[in-house]
Structure 1
Amino acid sequence: MKLGYVRVSSRDQNLDRQIVRLKGIPVDKIFAEKKSGKNIENRIELIRLINQIKESDIVYVTSLDRLGRNAEDLTEIIQTIRKKGASLQSLDLPDFSAVPDPNLRNMLTDILITVFKFQAQSERERIRERQKQGIALAKKRGVYKGKPILYGANSPDPQKRAIYFALKRDLSKGCTIRSLATKYGVSLGTICRIKRES
């Protein structure tokens, strides 16, 4: 089977562009979610995909960064896919499926993925460094206000504000953090922060 995986980091972002590209292949089934790439264990659809993979399946993504945010996570996910006898194809990388020798095909794919992981990691580190420098300059000028809280009593988004109060209510009833994360589509870290506030 041809299986597709699409992901965006937040509920406000749109999955349509990725879905359209994978349907154009076409794939047999698409696993889609709006979750941060930070923690693999929080990504329910990725786990469902991995559990359904069978030998000779092909997993398609529009870009490797949809699978993971860092080299370690990407390596772990790719190795898991390969251990199941399946292969991975990212649409932002060349397709070596026409190469007849499977060992050569895997070697070429591995080289490309390694280069991509290095570039992605380096770019993330550069972005973090620029952010630190920007924050330091803003603090010097006295204009730094910190990262806005998306889910809070004063959130500018009425839907996120409503979810915040619903989470506080459910936490006071003794609901588990994991069940609330699934129910509301909010990260475990956000719910832990709200719980600490309470």
Structure 2
Amino acid sequence: MQIGYARVSSTDQNLDRQLKQFEGLGIKKIFAEKISGKDRSRPKLREMLQYIHDDDEVVVTSLDRLGRNSQDLTTIIEEIRSKGAVINILDLPTFDGVQDKNLKALLSNLVMEIYKYTAEEERKKNKITAT
């Protein structure tokens, strides 16, 4: 089953773009919230992590919707995987053309690490700009 997780950082921001992407993919079960991604203290994230199980696919539009802290992102992704689910980050390359499973996993993990770092650095920059 595909499960969407959508998040924006504040109540004055809009979830519509993410929800429309999920709708276009036919995703029926969506957890959405308007709360900062600075840490894991997010009710809908917790609810989604408790809901998922074997063979589910967690879909997010971009990695930074899942979180803004590299360590938290690693923990969230590992929790998804530990439940037998996979994660699909729509704006990341899929490497579908790579036949070697180990190479595909290596490339995916490398790209994910780069994006995790970028998400965390963006949050730090936004925090400095806001003060």
**What TM-score range do you get, normalising by the shorter chain?**
0.7 to 0.9
Percent sequence identity over aligned pairs:
48
> Following TM superposition, by how much is the alpha carbon of 1:55 offset from its aligned partner in structure 2, in angstroms?
1.3
Greater Cα radius of gyration, structure 1 or 2: 1
Q: Does 1:13 align with 2:48?
A: no
Structure 1 residue ranges without an equivalent (≥5): 136-198
Q: What's the secondary structure of 1:7's corresponding residue?
A: strand
Distance 1:105 1:55 in 2: 21
Structure 2 residue ranges without an equivalent (≥5): none
Distance 1:128 1:15 in 2: 21
Match of 1:3 in 2: 3
> Following TM superposition, by how much is the alpha carbon of 1:36 offset from its aligned partner in structure 2, in angstroms?
1.5
> Following TM superposition, by how much is the alpha carbon of 1:20 offset from its aligned partner in structure 2, in angstroms?
0.2
Distance 2:104 2:28 in 1: 23
Change (3 A) 1:46 1:128: closer
Match of 2:72 in 1: 73
> Following TM superposition, by how much is the alpha carbon of 1:100 offset from its aligned partner in structure 2, in angstroms?
4.6
> Following TM superposition, by how much is the alpha carbon of 1:71 offset from its aligned partner in structure 2, in angstroms?
0.6
> Following TM superposition, by how much is the alpha carbon of 1:99 offset from its aligned partner in structure 2, in angstroms?
4.3
Change (3 A) 1:8 1:123: closer
When the two chains are superposed, the root-mean-square deviation of aligned CA atoms in Å is 2.0
**Larger RCO (alpha carbons 8 Å, 6+ apart):** 2
User: Which whole-Å deviations, capped at 9, do the CAs of 1:23-69 have from their partners, x for residues lacking one?
Assistant: 1112231111111212313x111111111111121110011111111
Distance 2:53 2:3 in 1: 10
Larger fraction in helix: 1
Match of 2:43 in 1: 44
> Following TM superposition, by how much is the alpha carbon of 1:128 offset from its aligned partner in structure 2, in angstroms?
4.3
